[in-house]
Amino acid sequence: MSRLLIENGSVIDNGYTGLGQRIAQRVVAMHAEQCPVDFALSMVRLCSAQSCGKCTPCRVGLFQAAQLMEYILAGAGEEEDLERLRQVAQTMLDASDCAIGFEAGRMLLAALDSFAADFQAHVQHDRCDVKHFAYVPCQAECPAHVDIPGYLSLIAAGRNADALRVIRNDNPLPTVCGYVCEHPCELSCRRAMVDSPVNICGLKRFAADNAEAHTPQPNQPSTGKKVAIIGGGPAGLSAAYYLQLMGHACTIFDVRPKLGGMVRYGIPDYRLPQDKLDEDINFILATGVEARTGVAVDAEQFAALMKEYDAAYVSIGAHTHKSLGIEGENARGVLSAVEFLRAAGEGAPVDLTGKRVVIVGGGNVAMDCTRTAKRLGAASVECVYRRRIADMTALQEEIDEALAEGCQITQLQAPVRIEVDEQDQVTALITQPQLIGEVKRGRPAPVPADLPEQRIPADVVLVAIGQAIVTEPFEFLIPTARGKFVARDDGSVEPVSLMHEGCLVFAGGDAVSGPATVIKAVAAGKVAAANIDEGLGFAHNVFDEVELPEPAPTLPATGRVELTSRTFAEAAQDFDIAKLGMTAQAALQESNRCLHCDHHGFGAVCGRVMFKW
């Protein structure tokens, strides 16, 4: 008899694997649209199915938790049951033998905290109190709530200009976002239940690159009101676009020579060519928006503007940098990511020919600096991060492409000091090796490892650990906290003095949220525009009605079309666009992968209507 046998998966084993993958796909694509209590019960039942039954806290605790939640959902729950449920969860967390039990307890406690109002509503009123609606998931996840299924159907029909009209109902920077958006919409795309999410961002870029020439919709009659926009980044541009369409005369004041803010002076040309950015800006200016560039608005000028204008929107962006706070940071050869990328954006890049460049940071800005340094002729480029590569906040595709272009990413090294020579010139970055440790605030925190310091030779050190906002010129009027403006959810601010001269004052974008994504800044500008319009006594509707085609039959399981790149060795030599767009054939196939949740299911009832403004 054989001592060992090759173990082949049984039908049951293969079935578990396949169904497990399907369930995982559904969880990834899940949107907050079901009863939270019912969702939590499903989680408890899944954990119960995993339990080995060995320890009492897990085996009995999960059974009791499910039973209590069934009572609550059936309308038979009492206040005491909520306390008992919490006690059961805490016991599972404290006393279970393995992660199946104690992590189930942790998740249940998190559900009880997150969904407290809904648990109470079920106990007190026998109904769900959830405030979510069954929006189309991709549209709900988009910060600007763009009608994504709508414009995908237009792309499939070959109507690219109409697709841009639909996008501009909620986002006047479709070209910019087609190139650089972080596409949170794709995270909840229900197509993931079938195969993988639709390449929404790539399709937006295709529409922008291939749309025939068209003009903005006509402005509504003039209201006689004037609005000053301080800052010409994506938030300010978006607010100006919608307010101008509403009939208010908008003027953008920006300190830089050209509009665009950090999109122009922070995103390299190989990701977003400046002529593509100009397409969106020129479209916005075609509505009649006035731009005054090279104007730095100080406190005195801002006070004067409030006397001249009926409303002001402050969206100045994050144009300064945060410091490392280490010895040698002011040495020659140490530059902030902001000034380094700004110089490149202004056409006067730093000469790095033959130099050893070290970048400190792990976000998208750090990756932009890393790949830009490579293109500027650096002899070596090394990005140093104090956490693991897996913990970097940069987009995975940016990390992968930096590595493919020949850049080095060194993980688990924390900067200690910058070594300089007699001329105060950088010679090296000294780091302390780190050991990844306990998870804090959602990410594993690094701790010093029991290893000696390391010396990384460098001629230039680029600091990319964060950006800051210059709030001082506006602090006499707008309240601040932790280096940001304090604004309400509608974008309005509570003036700290009575010096607003009857002028409505709003703030948004990075100035309020801190450094964020382009689409979040667009959303802030859209919100401010609607609420400034209301504050001025109007309720304009600038929604551009576009007739949508009936969706084509959905494709069966089909691979996702990914954007291809130029040869990495070639792309790293210049600032031409690195990632190539879709062909018409690819765009047709990819747009037809959309499941059209706006047309099928409950999204057809309220998806587009609820988001129309």
What SS3 string covers 200-252?
HHHHHHHHHHHCCCCCCCCCCCCCCCEEEEECCCHHHHHHHHHHHHCCCEEEE
Q: What is the separation, in whole angstroms, between the first and last Cα of the chain?
A: 76
Q: 535 — alpha (psi -120 to 50), left (phi > 0) or beta?
A: alpha
Q: Residue 577 is encoded by which pair of tokens? A: 């666009």
pLDDT attached to residue 604: 57
Asked if pLDDT for residue 362 goes beyond 70, the answer is yes
Q: Residue 276 is encoded by which pair of tokens? A: 């593509």
Instruction: Give the chain's mean pLDDT.
Output: 90
Q: How many CA atoms lie within 13 A of 568 on its CB side?
A: 13
Give pTM, 2 decimals. 0.89
Residues across the chain: 613
Q: Given CA atoms 220, 225, 226, 229 in this order, what sign does their dihedral have? A: negative
534 compared with 4, residue with greater pLDDT: 534
pLDDT tens-digit map of 429-474: 999 999 999 988 888 999 999 999 999 999 999 999 988 888 888 8
420 compared with 516, residue with greater pLDDT: 420
pLDDT attached to residue 231: 94
Segment 246-256 shows an average pLDDT of 96
pLDDT band for position 144 (50/70/90)? Answer: very high
CA-CA distance, 536 to 250, in Å (whole number)? 13
Rounded-to-5 percentages of helix, strand, coil across the chain: 45, 15, 45
CB 172 within 8 A of CB 237: yes
Measured between alpha carbons, how far is residue 394 from residues 29, 363, 464, 497 in Å? 22, 4, 12, 40
Segment 493-508 shows an average pLDDT of 75
CB 246 within 8 A of CB 224: no
**What is the bridge-based pairing of β-strands 413-420 and 380-384?**
unpaired
Q: φ and ψ at 346, to 5 degrees?
A: -90, 0
Environment class of residue 106 by beta-carbon count within 10 Å: exposed (0-12), middle (13-18) or buried (19+)? Answer: middle
Q: 593 — alpha (psi -120 to 50), left (phi > 0) or beta?
A: alpha
Asked if pLDDT for residue 260 goes beyond 60, the answer is yes
Segment 497-512 shows an average pLDDT of 78
CB 338 within 8 A of CB 369: no
Segment 6-27 shows an average pLDDT of 76
Measured between alpha carbons, how far is residue 521 from residues 139, 236, 279, 425, 526 in Å? 16, 8, 18, 38, 9
Residue with tokens 């994506």: 234
CB 317 within 8 A of CB 238: no
Q: How many CA atoms lie within 13 A of 325 on its CB side?
A: 4
pLDDT attached to residue 88: 94
Segment 160-167 shows an average pLDDT of 97
Asked if pLDDT for residue 312 goes beyond 90, the answer is yes
Asked if pLDDT for residue 302 goes beyond 70, the answer is yes
260 compared with 601, residue with greater pLDDT: 260
Segment 212-229 shows an average pLDDT of 95
Q: Given CA atoms 226, 232, 236, 241 in this order, what sign does their dihedral have? A: positive
Asked if pLDDT for residue 130 goes beyond 70, the answer is no
Residue 91: name the closest of 58, 113, 116, 52 by CA. 58
Which helix (H) or strand (E) segment holds residue 151: the answer is helix 148-156
CA-CA distance, 56 to 59, in Å (whole number)? 5
The region of weakest confidence among 8-17, 153-162, 436-445, 457-466 is 8-17
